[in-house]
Amino acid sequence: MKKMIDLRSDTVTMPTDEMRQAMASAPVGDDGYGDDPTVKKLEEKAADIVGKEDALFVPSGIFGNQLAILTHTNRGDEIIVEANSHIVMHEVGAAAVIAGVQLRNIEGRNGRMSIKDVERAIREENIHFPRTGLICIENAHSCGTVIGLDNMSEISEIAKKNNIPVHLDGARVFNAAKALNVDVKEITKYADSVMFCLSKGLCAPVGSILAGSKEFIEKARKNRKLMGGGLRQAGIIAAAGIVALDTMIDRLEEDHKNAKYLAEKLSEIDKIEVRFDKNDINMVFFKISDDIIEEKNFINKLLEKNIKINGKENGEYRFVTNNDVSRDDIDYVVQQIKNILD
Ligand SMILES: *Cc1c(COP(=O)(O)O)cnc(C)c1O
């Protein structure tokens, strides 16, 4: 039987054989007592790679973002976020529930907030106003774009001037670094804290990292406990994270090349409108009007050909390339779409 080609996300990636072997043989201990050498090794390595003093292993990306928000802010604060960011759109409203903060949405251009808008959104001292407790930037943005270093640097400067910390939702920060062709530290240096996912393009089965200053991570470690995210012999999964950092960062470039190739090929089909303005990383966004093929029909027809995709969001399909999708797979997908649309 032909294998399933899964384009729904890079979260569907399977752990590599090397990860499974590392997991099987990892030395572990109770991380609640600080006894797990593998977790420690991962946290040290992660902090080093993103240029922060310390890091914390957390169960998921959402956990890391929400832990950062809880740790940076006080209840009733307002935090500045991009209107289509993951924190606003895809985190179940957690910031209101866990940290008890209000989200001040700034409509960006493909995820990029204008400096003027950020500056205007910062609250002055006034008896009616909440305090601005945090500014969040998402890079790479989940709409498929990369935010330039100029923008990050300017936001960071405004934040410093106003004594407001910056959190980077860097779920795909290594994709951003590859796309910008810079060391990841060139991106993370503009943020006080950064979250990144081990379990997306990097292919680890579980886990994310929250990194920041020693003081911040110490506070976050306690808050992680409060949130129920203190783990025990977590070295079993941290071991895969170490392999992810050692072996999977450089190959993200392949996903990007495949996404560009897929975008080109799809754009040659005249019923498809590809969003080349959102093709910076491993994602391809495109439109096919419902008059040409109805969404459910398109999904089911592809599934019959062993291709898994998600439904549209905001009227657009999103295909995500990843370690388990080869160039040949992409050629096969494009051929099947041609057949379906003819
Ligand atoms: C995936 C993602 C997250 C959340 O990660 P989970 O591990 O799914 O909780 C947060 N931010 C962005 C930008 C993401 O793409």
Considering only CA atoms, which of 248, 4, 257, 11 is closest in space to residue 142?
Answer: 11
CB-based contact 140:102 (threshold 8 Å): no
Q: Which atom of ligand 1 is nearest to the CA of 61?
A: 5
Confidence class for position 1, pLDDT limits 50, 70, 90 = low
CA of 36 to the centre of ligand 1 (A): 26
Ligand 1, residues 142, 143, 252, 280: which to mutate, most atoms within 8 A of Cβ?
Answer: 142
CB-based contact 286:275 (threshold 8 Å): yes
Q: Please list every protein residue whose CB sits less than 6 Å from any atom of ligand 1.
A: 60-62, 65, 86, 138, 142, 169, 171, 197, 199, 208
Ligand 1, residues 169, 198, 206, 227: which to mutate, most atoms within 8 A of Cβ?
Answer: 169
What local confidence, expressed as pLDDT, does residue 171 receive?
A: 98
Q: Read off the tokens for 136.
A: 């969040």
Please name the CATH architecture into which domain 17-247 falls.
3-Layer(aba) Sandwich (3.40)
To the nearest whole percent, how much of the chain has pLDDT over 70? 100
Distances (CA, A) of 115 to 77, 80, 153: 21, 12, 10
**How does pLDDT run across 11-31, given as a tens digit for each residue?**
999 999 999 999 999 999 999
Where exactly does CATH 3.40.640.10 map onto the chain?
Answer: 17-247
Residue with the nearest Cα to atom 4 of ligand 1?
61
Q: What top-level class would CATH report for the domain 5-12+251-341?
A: alpha beta
Considering only CA atoms, which of 127, 136, 46 is closest in space to residue 99?
Answer: 136
What local confidence, expressed as pLDDT, does residue 301 receive?
A: 97
CA of 139 to the centre of ligand 1 (A): 11
CB-based contact 41:234 (threshold 8 Å): no
Q: Does residue 274 carry a pLDDT above 80?
A: yes
C-alpha 237, offset from chain centre: 19
Residue with the nearest Cα to atom 8 of ligand 1?
61
Average pLDDT over residues 216-221: 98
CA of 40 to the centre of ligand 1 (A): 23
Where exactly does CATH 3.90.1150.10 map onto the chain?
Answer: 5-12+251-341
To the nearest whole percent, how much of the chain has pLDDT over 90? 98
Average pLDDT over residues 207-215: 98
Average pLDDT over residues 69-91: 98
Confidence class for position 290, pLDDT limits 50, 70, 90 = confident
For all residues of the chain together, what is the average pLDDT? 97
Confidence class for position 95, pLDDT limits 50, 70, 90 = very high
Backbone angles phi, psi at 8, to 5 degrees: -65, -35
pTM for this entry: 0.97
CA of 85 to the centre of ligand 1 (A): 10
Q: Which atom of ligand 1 is nearest to the CA of 138?
A: 13
DSSP 184-222: THHHHTT-SEEEEESSSTT--SS-EEEEE-HHHHHHHHH
DSSP 240-290: HHHHHHHHSSTTHHHHHHHHHHHHHHHHTSTT-EE-GGG-SSSEEEEE--T
Place of tokens 């096969």: 332
Instruction: Tell me how far apart the alpha carbons of residues 201 and 249 are, in angstroms, rounded to a whole number.
Output: 8
CA of 82 to the centre of ligand 1 (A): 15
Ligand 1, residues 89, 143, 197, 202: which to mutate, most atoms within 8 A of Cβ?
Answer: 197
Place of tokens 């939702």: 169
Residue with the nearest Cα to atom 2 of ligand 1?
171
Ligand 1, residues 90, 139, 175: which to mutate, most atoms within 8 A of Cβ?
Answer: 90
Q: Which atom of ligand 1 is nearest to the CA of 65?
A: 10
